[in-house]
Structure 1
Amino acid sequence: MSVSNSVFLFGYSGHAYVIIESLLDAGYQVKGYFDFKAAENNPYGLDYFGYEKEVDVKSIVGNNLVFPSIGDNSIRKNLIGLFEKLHLNQFVAVDSSANVSRTALINPSTYIGKNVIVNGQTKIGKGVILNSGCIIEHECQVSNFVHVAPGAVLCGNVSVGEECFVGANSVVKQNLMISSENVIGAGSVVISHILEKGVWVGSKLRKL
């Protein structure tokens, strides 16, 4: 049985709005959403199907597509665990304006936003957000459940560990490693490896 182009979203707020517009531009149909409660603001007129922990998601979704439309890394990780457990149909959502190398390896439930550049021989994990205008240069490895915020730049051969957040307009110098669960503040400049978990900020990077 073929997979449809209809998508059920998990989460419905600001980040979801961005994803919805990318999906609609790409010809997908957004069937509705799951969340812990129905949204008070429903700008796209979507149907609410309940909280994924309280309803039979598999029977509702069927053979349609699912996508995690949540910005929080840990929540997105849990949702993808649910998708895998229920054998739901995941996919990669790519905005039509993005420029993605044919040699890049992109894993499911990853979102590649408006005007993003992903260059050759990169590897992008599952459940990653590459947000508006960020640049992922050649041979980078971005692990599962990472969020790269708008305008951030990963220069060549950068490795980012699981569940990191790379802040807006930050820059990571080439050939560096950032270990898992680190937060890089907006506008920061990373010029050496980050191997200790923490929140890092500034043009002269320091740990908060």
Structure 2
Amino acid sequence: MLIFLAVLLNKSIYILGYSGHAYVILDSLAKLNVKVLGYFDFEPCNSFDNFYDLEYKGNEKLVDLNFIDDSSYVFPSIGDNYIRIKLVQFIEENKLAQTNIIDPQAIVSNRAIIESSVYVAPGAIINSRALIKKGSIINSGATIEHECVIGEFSHIAPNSVLTGNVIIGKNTLVGANAVITPGVTIGNNVIIGAGSVVTKDIPDNSKWVGNPLRML
């Protein structure tokens, strides 16, 4: 498992984006005692929403690299998959330091692999030999069973269950409380609606909902 490096190396962190998903990430960082140096977003938030009292550093699409040195990580704290892709591309192109963030209340096997810019939320379970590829979100209470593969920039929503040997493609959303049965492969750019039960392979670029499952 790629553990949360900022704790071991005593590094601080900047976040890209400061709204709903970022609030959950900031709670995890607080538990980990990691210092957040500031946030980048399209505009400063108002004082009511800035309850973490973070310093605004500029537009997330026009990040001033003068603020960022080698002693700090940069993390994409946006829930939208497409925006997160662009932010991670920016981080990689500018060779900024990356990490993953694993909430202390998540359960992650030491035989799982968690790539960079991944967030694992409280209550999530990731079991042995699972692979979570870069830029993905494993949200609160989600279960990723043994030997599952989560593609880049995908989002596994709260309380969804992926049973053993499930493969999820790139930029795919598995909705809250969905269940994916063993051995199923779900393609790229797919949306699985909340509460759906998936018992068969799903092709790329499609939307599915319900139990029994149907395509929209």
Task: Report the TM-score, using the length of structure 2 for normalisation.
Answer: 0.93
Is 1:60 matched with 2:29? no
**Residue of structure 2 aligned with 1:153, choices 149, 161, 168:** 161
Following superposition, the deviation at residue 54 of structure 1 comes to 2.8
Partners in 1 of 2:85 and 2:209 — Cα distance? Answer: 25
Partners in 2 of 1:30 and 1:93 — Cα distance? Answer: 13
Structure 2: segments with no counterpart, 5+ residues: 1-7
Is 1:18 matched with 2:28? no
Deviation by residue 1:78-115 (Cα, 9 ceiling, x = unmatched): 00000000111110100001110111111000000001
Percent of matched pairs sharing the same residue: 45
Structure 1 partner of 2:134: 126
Report the residue type matching 1:51 in the other structure: N
Between the two proteins, the alignment pairs up a number of residues equal to 206
Following superposition, the deviation at residue 5 of structure 1 comes to 2.2
Structure 1: segments with no counterpart, 5+ residues: none
Partners in 2 of 1:176 and 1:23 — Cα distance? Answer: 34
Do 1:4 and 1:65's aligned partners in 2 also have CA atoms closer than 8 Å? no
Is 1:8 matched with 2:14? yes
Deviation by residue 1:155-192 (Cα, 9 ceiling, x = unmatched): 00000000000000000001010000000000000000
Secondary structure, counterpart of 2:58 in structure 1: coil
Do 2:102 and 2:119's aligned partners in 1 also have CA atoms closer than 8 Å? yes
**Residue of structure 2 aligned with 1:87, choices 95, 105, 110:** 95
Is 1:165 matched with 2:198? no
Do 2:168 and 2:188's aligned partners in 1 also have CA atoms closer than 8 Å? yes
Is 1:144 matched with 2:157? no
Following superposition, the deviation at residue 52 of structure 1 comes to 3.1
Partners in 2 of 1:69 and 1:45 — Cα distance? Answer: 16
Report the residue type matching 1:62 in the other structure: D
Report the residue type matching 1:22 in the other structure: S
Structure 1 partner of 2:5: none
Partners in 1 of 2:30 and 2:105 — Cα distance? Answer: 13
Deviation by residue 1:8-37 (Cα, 9 ceiling, x = unmatched): 000000110000010110110111100111
- State the 4+ residue runs in structure 1 displaced beyond 3 angstroms: none
Partners in 2 of 1:36 and 1:72 — Cα distance? Answer: 15
Following superposition, the deviation at residue 4 of structure 1 comes to 4.4
Following superposition, the deviation at residue 39 of structure 1 comes to 1.2
